Every structure is written in structure tokens, then in C-alpha cells.
Amino acid sequence: MGQGSDNWPELDFTSWRETASTLQLWTQIVGKIRLALTPWVNHSWQVPLYVTSRGLGTSPIPWGTEIFEIEFDFLAHRLNLQTSLGEQRSLPLKSQTVADFHRAVIDLLRQLHITVQIHEMPNEISDAIRFPDDRTHSAYDAAAAHRFWRALVQADRVLKIFRSAFLGKVSPVHFFWGSFDLAVTRFSGRRAPLHPGGVPNLPDAVAREAYSHEVSSAGFWPGNDLFPKPAFYSYAYPEPDGFADSAVSPGTYYDRNLHEFILPYDAVRSADDPDALLLDFLFSTYESAAVRASWDRAALECGIGKPGRVRAI
């Protein structure tokens, strides 16, 4: 096992599948609160959650002339809500149905006189059940949730290093609750062809706005029923000719069903230098997309940012 294994926890999807499914739905409820109250930003950047020092949080949500935040705390295993008026509320993260969690969160908001209506159907999930009716998903393994967050901490840290080496338009590193993954996206600056849509329980207009411009995107997901392994991924939209056959970092392969390059999480976790392997994956797959799509790399790229050091121009 590599030197990074202590920091990169074991994350076997099959062992925490039920918790992952429930937690994804819980994060959608919280994310939809942010969605309902926040002005739309390009590519749905107003909706994600962010990795925090304790879990996953919304960042400030506008509320009249005030703001509030909601955070999943995977250390104390609580959902915390706090406002700019100094008010705080919380509820335990424990085994409970999605319906019960949904009701508890809405009740928590009402205690603070925060009124919000969310779309109660989950997004990007086949055979979805309305939140108030979902008594199927109810698992919460606290240790597994903590391991998942610890993996997100490592992925977030390295993705932010990668993000710093781009001068062009680039997204924050953010956690999309619909697809349940951590992502960062670079843009060439050119328009993209109209996205075909067809994502389960996601309006085509949302997908088309998200992919309105040419991108190279990469991130981390913990796995799902269709791909039950944690992995890092990288893809391009539109995918340029020859992208799938590119020579990229060791241990990486192109999945022709997903149309993405995949680097298994376990390969990173067991590497002697996990950061170096992951950065090689991120840079090599991006470069493959940028070269084949003729991005203006000289204008878009720069060196990795250094703490406390102004970038030379």
C-alpha cells in the first residue's frame, strides 16, 4: 500500500451502497433549497455544495436582506443551519427515511421563518421517488459517510491545485448533488453544439445551458449502481476526434460506455505518491482534449499557483 493510503481512505462502494443512495437524496434536498433561493448562475454554478472542514456545505444562501448556510457535518454527524442573524439549528444525521429527513429539514427552516418551496422530485436518478413519499431509502452508516468525506477532502485539495494552472474560464471545484460527484471544468471560450439532453429527471434546458460552451471536465465520484467503483474521471464536450485513443497517465483507461477516461480511486490510494498520479491524470487527459480540439493553449494555460506568490505576467 502506498504512502498516501492513510490519508486516502478505503471506499468500497458495495459496502456502503445503501448509505450512498440515501445520502445523495439528502444532499439533493439541501441543494434544492439553495437552488430555489439563489439567482441562476452560468452552468448551474449556483446550486452545488462545497467541501468544508467538517463535511459538505451550501455556502451563503440569500434570504431577504440576510443569508443562511446549511452544512452536512460528517464529524459530529449533524445537519447544521445558521443565519447571519446569529440563529442556529441542527438535527442528527442518522438512519431515517428520505421522507422523514425532508420533513425535518423543512421544519428546521420554518423555525427560523425561512419559507421555501423546492421541486420534490430527485434529479438525475432513474425510478425516482418524490422526497415526501420516499420511505425506501433510509440507511446512514456514519463511519462510511466519514470515509466518503475524507476522500472528498483529498480529491478537492488536488483538484484545486489543477484548477490553479488555467488562465481561462474555469469553474470552482464543487460538488454536484444531482450526479453526486466533485467536479472542475475548464472552458476553451468557444460555443459548443446543442447538447442532446436526455439525462434522467433533468430538464433538457438545464443540460443544454450547462454544456453551452466547449469544455474539458474532470472530477471524482464514489460509484453508483451502473459503475460500482469509486473513480476519477475526465471527459470533453464535444469529444474531439482521437480523444478516446490518447496516450494518457498510467493506470488510466477510456470507458466507451461512459465516454470518459477513468482512473480508479484505488490506484490513486495505493500509489506511492497519490497527488502526483492524480495530477498526471488530470493534466494528461486535459491536454489530450485541448490538443485535439485545437484550444488556444498559450492564452489559456499557466503554471500551478504557489501560495503567497503573485503570478508572473
* CA atoms of 244 and 258, how far apart (whole Å): 11
Closest CA to 290 of 220, 239, 231: 239
**pLDDT (average), residues 220-233:** 96
Does residue 2 register a pLDDT over 70?
A: no
What confidence score (pLDDT) does residue 29 get? Answer: 98
* CA atoms of 218 and 236, how far apart (whole Å): 9
Q: What are phi and psi of 184, to 5 degrees?
A: -140, 140
**pLDDT (average), residues 223-229:** 94
Mean of all residue pLDDT scores within the chain = 96
* CA atoms of 172 and 182, how far apart (whole Å): 10
**Per residue in 150-178, pLDDT tens?**
999 999 999 999 999 999 999 999 999 99
What confidence score (pLDDT) does residue 1 get? Answer: 44
* CA atoms of 48 and 28, how far apart (whole Å): 9
**pLDDT (average), residues 58-74:** 98
Position 6 confidence tier, pLDDT thresholds 50, 70, 90: confident
**pLDDT (average), residues 75-93:** 98
C-beta separation of 278 from 268 below 8 A: yes
C-beta separation of 49 from 175 below 8 A: yes
**Per residue in 22-59, pLDDT tens?**
999 999 999 999 999 999 999 999 999 999 999 999 99
What confidence score (pLDDT) does residue 9 get? Answer: 97
Where are any strands of DSSP class E within the chain?
A: 50-51, 55-57, 61-63, 66-73, 78-83, 88-92, 174-176, 181-191, 213-221, 231-237, 253-255, 260-264
Position 5 confidence tier, pLDDT thresholds 50, 70, 90: low
Q: What are phi and psi of 186, to 5 degrees?
A: -100, 145
Tell me the whole-structure pTM to 2 decimals.
Answer: 0.96
What confidence score (pLDDT) does residue 192 get? Answer: 98
Preceding amide of 238 cis, omega within 30: yes
C-beta separation of 204 from 197 below 8 A: yes
Query: Rounded to 10 degrees, what is the CA torsion of 166, 168, 174, 180?
Result: -100
Q: How many CA atoms lie within 13 A of 297 on its CB side?
A: 12
- Counting residues of the chain whose pLDDT is more than 90, the rounded percentage is 96
Q: How many CA atoms lie within 13 A of 35 on its CB side?
A: 21
**Per residue in 245-285, pLDDT tens?**
999 999 999 999 999 999 999 999 999 999 999 999 999 99
41: which residues sit within 8 A by CB, 6+ positions away?
Answer: none
**pLDDT (average), residues 206-234:** 97
